[in-house]
Amino acid sequence: MRLTTASIAFLSLFHLSAGQPRHRHVHRHRPHRTIITKRDKITITDSTRSTTTEIPEVVVYVDQDNNTIRTATEQVVYVPVSVDTSKKPATPVSTEATISGLLTTPTPPPIVPSVPATDQQTSFSKPASSVNTYPASSNLPDPPTTPTPISNHSALHGVTYSPYKGNGGCKTADEVDADFALIAKDYGVIRLYGVDCDQVAKAYAAAKNYGNKLFLGIFDINSIDQAVSTMATGLDHDWSMVDTVSVGNELVNNGGATVSQSLGALTEARFRLRDAGYQGPVVVVDTFVAVLAHPELCDQSDYCAVNVHPFFDPNTGADQAGQFVTSTVTKIRSKMSDSSKRIVVTETGWPWQGQSNGAAVPGMDQQSTALSSIKSAYVENAGDVILFTAFNDLWKKPVAGTFMAEQFWGMGGRYSPSDQ
């Protein structure tokens, strides 16, 4: 099937989230990803264009029933009807199912931490054929039968936090404490994404001062043992401060790991964490697009952890953000083997500056409207949503694929004191 002649349905894609774990500029983050062999370019005839245009886009392959088969970032070449496309390569056919349609949306680059020059974090380079070999057997610790609640913080929403200055450097312990002083009273759980910059120890000290819980993250699934050791040391082995530990962030969605690799890493991390004394929930975090296609990511996690960003759906306005999140969660629940299992939205929010994405318009008023909509949707279970993000992330690089908004998702447009 050639895309230059096929009928293509440009349906609304819920998008894959702006997500964090993150660190530094996007172009410096590439070493953290598995090397994926690039496919041939996809060519589409577009009568609205006068010149040939090539851009990266997220392509969602669906079967004849419009069920998602997989997602991939492809180079899409739009050519005007006057251009001869007879020599353009044919679209590679999926080996998983017959492709009868495509969903496309502007591609947000993976927004994950690049390693600063002062850090020693190992880059992510798991080969595509590598699979963890930790079996689900009786000699491994069992996951908790019920997720650990957020204790007295269950009445408060969570928020994501990155310990990086606008210039890309690591924040000091005092700077992290100053950040917590501004946000602690409004949020119960503070979500981190990795262990670099000594962030666990710094956040732990601040969380003890202000009474927060921590949602910790293992970013590099090649270094699970090292990450767990760093966590234990940074916490002084006080796991009572930890609400959840995540394994990866959007790795399946972004091609950084296969489903098998993510689940293998989950099993390994749970084993290492139990051995270190942590008995709370361990989860894989991915986008809702990936989770809808692979609900086993939720089924095997101690609860379902998913990133949902309504801003990246061009048909969703700020006042509809809460409805978008809850309807997405309902779809996920219908795919899970246990529909009663807890689902936590681990990233959602709205930018206050950037370019418009159809009906999704950034702005201070729009952010306030979107956040109010999301909070209203979760008024009875505030602990099941983590907002994105505590402060503006000036260390990120603005890119067209995410509507030049990556730096401006701070709650209320707030800047960290270290960036003022």
List residues with catalytic annotation: 347
Alpha carbon distance 355, 358 (integer Å): 9
Alpha carbon distance 313, 310 (integer Å): 6
Nearest alpha carbon to residue 194 among 134, 144, 126, 123: 123
Three-class HEC string of the chain: CCCCCCCCCCCCCCCCCCCCCCECCHHHCHHHCCCCCCCCCEEEECCCCCCCEEEEEEEEEECCCCCEEEEEEEEEEEECCCCCCCCCCCCCCCCCCCCCEEEEEECCCCCCECCCCCCCCCCCCCCCCCCCCCCCCCCCCCCCCCCCCCHHHCCCCEEECCCECCCCCECCHHHHHHHHHHHHHHCCEEECCCCHHHHHHHHHHHHHHHCCEEEEEECCCCCHHHHHHHHHHHCCCCHHHEEEEEEEECHHHHCCCCHHHHHHHHHHHHHHHHHHCCCCCEEEEEEHHHHHHCCHHHHCCCCEEEECCHHHCCCCCHHHHHHHHHHHHHHHHHHCCCCCCCEEEEEECCCCCCCCECCECCCHHHHHHHHHHHHHHCCCCHHHEEECCCCCCCCCCCCHHHCCCCCCCCHHHCCCHHHC
- The β-bridge partners of 214 are 190, 242
For 391, counting Cβ atoms within 10 Å of its Cβ (0-12 exposed, 13-18 middle, 19+ buried), the class is buried
Residue 342 near residue 147, CB atoms below 8 Å: yes
Alpha carbon distance 215, 193 (integer Å): 8
Nearest alpha carbon to residue 14 among 254, 313, 377, 358: 313
